Structure 1
Amino acid sequence: MDKKMKQDLKILQNIFKNARNKKHKCLVCEEKSINSHLLQKNGILNIISSNNHIIQITGNDFFKAEKEGIIGIKSIGINRAMSYPLFCNIHDTNIFAPVETEEYSLNDYTSQLLFSYRSLCAEIRKKMINTDIFERIKNSRQFAVNFELLKLAQSQIEANSMGIQDLNWYKNIMELEINNSYNTTDYIFEKIDYDFIPISASAVYSPINPSEHTLEVLKDSEKILNYIFINLIPQEDKLTLIIGYHKLKTNNWIKEYITSWKGLSDIEFEKKLTDLFATKIETWVISPDYWKELETKNIKAFKDYWNDNANNLRITQSVDFNLFE
């Protein structure tokens, strides 16, 4: 690595660090946000933690990424696991009280909506941070003549900004329902129970179909992309999938994908989870003790696939390994 490249990587690393450490406003009001767990620490994450730690995907720094790839899978303290600066303390407490301070049922529409709302807000925040990162890159004198990087930065700014716009459409409707502004149920959720596996996930996913989502369609601000809301919630004796979509923003692929989670054998479920974690979402965690039991070759296959396809959002992806066997 030459001196210029080392300088570039150092500047990029500082940009990413500063953008991610920046203080943010609550996604509901003007107050400062706190770190919000996507799934609560007590009653969900602590079920699969070991010594107050959990295994989670994290990004490697630029120097480490050159040798080990862009992702690391590391042990992290449960207080920081699956957490993002989303809401101020008041809104984080009040909005989610029905699923944190009271007895709740995963069959209940409001509970399903609240879990999905938090994962939706996390995706908005991630895209806001990404936009900030690439704005900083675009404005950095270090990269003033790096036209390839500047082109990439501009495309990322546009893509993340359009994603935020789409997600805010879903967010506004969810907030109306959470606040009981209208007596409607605009979201359709399925609840499916499986045998217990010590994992957890909370994410949104927009399926991109190469034959349908041309560059022209993706750049059309009038066309709101379809999103699926996915939560895997561990309990003492089972693992529950809550998966859903907005009833006006769906298609045959989404309906068939949700149906494909039903009636699975243990092996089929493991392969389905592998596909989900490798090709569709990144906000998932796993028990450290369970992680140690997984085959080294399967972990390597997962990391290799993820590093090679991190920016591939297409539904045509497929994996030929089972992380959990």
Structure 2
Amino acid sequence: MTITPTNKGMSRYHDSRAMKGRERNAPCWCGSGKKYKKCHLGRDAQPKENPWAAVDVNRKAFSQKKCWARDVGLGDCEGGVIKAHTVSRGPNLAKIAENGHVLQYGASIPDMNKNGGKLSVKRIGIKDASVFHGFCSKHDREIFSCIENEVFTGRPDQCLAVAYRTMSRELYGKDAGSHLRETLRGADKGLQPFEQFMLQKMLDEIDTGNEAARRDLKATHDALTAALVAARTDVLSSLIFEFAAPIPFMFAGAWSPFTDLHGAELQKGYVDELLEQVFVSSFAGESSAMICISWRNIDGAPGKVIADQLEELADETRASACLQFVMKHVENVFFNPDWFGALDEKQKERLDQLAADGIDPMGSVPSMPVRLDVDFRLPRSIRSFHA
């Protein structure tokens, strides 16, 4: 039996043995562009593909080298494309590392299979943490010197630089994931017709979501690039929190928030809606730390709503709220091993839940609420200021 979806998204079944020649020569229902007889005809009897093929393709995609500052008005590239750190290695990761290593939640397919589908926490060297091949040596040095070689003080140029690097990493990831639809098109070999249809439908939905996200991120990336070229730091607004002591985690990320800190809707995510992002990053000091929240300087920016809500919290709970919020949305979160190892079961369970809440492959909005009653033993906030 085979499945042919109707134009309403439902499906009907046909006996492939009774199909006429013109039906076998019609484009396959899965959208591959191949004739049905060259694609899904008899797929249930075909041998299953190597399940790790997509992992290998994905690994190669995330190793592609491209300077995001090439031919955009920031000067010519020089030197090869290097491993750029989204979270600065020396100024930040080194401050929370133990013997040159930090901890990070991992969600790779091999690791999750080993752990019964659960996330694992892995040690990673700070040379390899939070890296992507996104800038040539010249542009990495020139654009990000203000955050790599200077103490972060919340200057507007520093906020713009870290937002640009973070957005470049997010767009790099979406580009790298664009292969997924075609790579997994044959993953339904050996499955029954209805299972084939459901898998192809799921892959289409993932691909649609990824393409929409790429469109949103590119629009913002273009705006940040133009701001860098024109040295216009007013394109962003930022709120910076300073803490009384170092914090045991570092992060950098950006996402399109659909809900605020308390779960209220911020953006609807319509197909024709260009979503706005919020940028978050943390910085280590010698005896203190800072967390920066930035957003595009437009009316009703979702990032401003979130920043204002964080500012309204008690000083003693702000670091915990920031940690929990980014755990749901950001991949690049790294922990001091000693601090993480000293957490009790309730605290670790909370972090596990938050990390798992943000990895739905179907792209659903993380719904886990921020709980201020969970004490992560973090320093209090001593001041906040706008940039």
After TM superposition, the score normalised by the length of structure 1 is 0.84
How many residue pairs get aligned? The number is 314
Partner of 1:25: 66
Deviation sequence 1:273-319 (CA, Å, 0-9, x none): 34213322221111111111111332133224433552265375314
Aligned residue among 51, 68, 76 for 1:9: 51
Is the counterpart of residue 157 in structure 1 residue 207 in structure 2?
A: yes
Partner of 2:341: 292
Change (3 A) 1:189 1:29: same
Is the counterpart of residue 130 in structure 1 residue 177 in structure 2?
A: yes
Q: CA deviation at 1:236?
A: 1.2
Aligned-partner Cα distance in 2 for 1:161–1:306? 23
Contact 1:261 1:272 in 2 (8 A): yes
Q: CA deviation at 1:83?
A: 1.1
Partner of 1:174: 224
Is the counterpart of residue 204 in structure 1 residue 245 in structure 2?
A: no
Partner of 1:117: 164
Q: CA deviation at 1:239?
A: 1.6
Change (3 A) 1:323 1:150: farther
Change (3 A) 1:63 1:109: closer
Partner of 1:317: 368
What one-letter code is carried by the residue in structure 1 that aligns with 2:328?
T
Q: CA deviation at 1:80?
A: 0.5
Unaligned runs of 5+ in 1: none
Aligned-partner Cα distance in 1 for 2:233–2:354? 41
Aligned-partner Cα distance in 2 for 1:95–1:46? 21
Change (3 A) 1:211 1:113: closer
Moved more, 228-237 or 24-33: 24-33
Contact 1:279 1:318 in 2 (8 A): no
Kindly report which structure 2 residues correspond to 1:24-43, keeping only aligned pairs within 5 A, or say none: 24-29=65-70, 33-43=81-91
Change (3 A) 1:212 1:187: closer
Contact 1:131 1:156 in 2 (8 A): no
Moved more, 69-78 or 234-243: 69-78
Q: The residue matched to 1:248 in structure 2 has which SS?
A: coil
Change (3 A) 1:280 1:62: same
Aligned residue among 269, 275, 281 for 1:225: 275
Partner of 1:52: 100
What one-letter code is carried by the residue in structure 2 that aligns with 1:51?
N
Q: The residue matched to 1:73 in structure 2 has which SS?
A: strand
Structure (1/2) with the larger helix percentage: 1
Q: The residue matched to 1:208 in structure 2 has which SS?
A: coil
Change (3 A) 1:193 1:73: same
Aligned-partner Cα distance in 2 for 1:157–1:143? 23
Change (3 A) 1:297 1:182: closer
Q: CA deviation at 1:187?
A: 0.9
Contact 1:205 1:228 in 2 (8 A): yes
After TM superposition, the score normalised by the length of structure 2 is 0.71
Aligned-partner Cα distance in 2 for 1:88–1:141? 40
What one-letter code is carried by the residue in structure 2 that aligns with 1:317?
M
Q: CA deviation at 1:165?
A: 1.6
Aligned-partner Cα distance in 1 for 2:155–2:331? 26
The percent of aligned pairs where both chains have the same amino acid is 18
Q: CA deviation at 1:79?
A: 0.1
Is the counterpart of residue 281 in structure 1 residue 322 in structure 2?
A: no
Is the counterpart of residue 84 in structure 1 residue 158 in structure 2?
A: no
Is the counterpart of residue 100 in structure 1 residue 168 in structure 2?
A: no
Q: Larger Rg: 1 or 2? A: 2
Contact 2:160 2:233 in 1 (8 A): no
Is the counterpart of residue 235 in structure 1 residue 274 in structure 2?
A: no
Moved more, 106-115 or 126-135: 126-135
Contact 2:119 2:352 in 1 (8 A): yes
Aligned-partner Cα distance in 2 for 1:140–1:33? 34
